[in-house]
Homo-oligomer: A and B are copies of this chain.
């Protein structure tokens, strides 16, 4: 599975393998991945390498990691609450600041939608729960 001489870092290789297994349904949403120690034995890499690989999946929003409990495959695509856009607003996105993440208790790997009014005021919404609908004329 992991090629030590491919030039590709092992933690990226492992992240690719785990991601593939997740999207292939091998690890269904809601289930736990094997523990870090188990994975390090299974793929014959150090635990630190496993943690970096899992960290990648976490940053991508694929899994949720909790101390003492394990690494759980995140359930995909919950219903988005629709915000109705208003003319001349500009919608973009970025990663939240630590304060914003704390305020809305956002999981890792989830961006925020930034809706900027013509007058410069901005509203911010977690992108895993909100979407902006373009209104009909």
Contact = CB atoms under 8 A, between A and B. Distances in A.
Interface of A: 16, 19, 59-61, 80, 82, 85-95, 97-98, 109-113, 116, 127-128, 130-137
A90 B80 contact: yes
A130 B60 contact: no
A35 B97 CA distance: 24
Given A59-B59, A136-B137, A113 B94 contact: no
A73 B28 CA distance: 39
The count of identical subunits is 2
Given A91-B133, A95-B110, 9 more contacts: A85-B134, A87-B136, A87-B137, A88-B133, A92-B127, A93-B112, A93-B127, A111-B127, A134-B135
Nearest to A108: B59
A122 to B, nearest CB: 12
Given A86-B134, A90-B133, A133-B88, A60 B111 contact: no
A45 B132 CA distance: 44
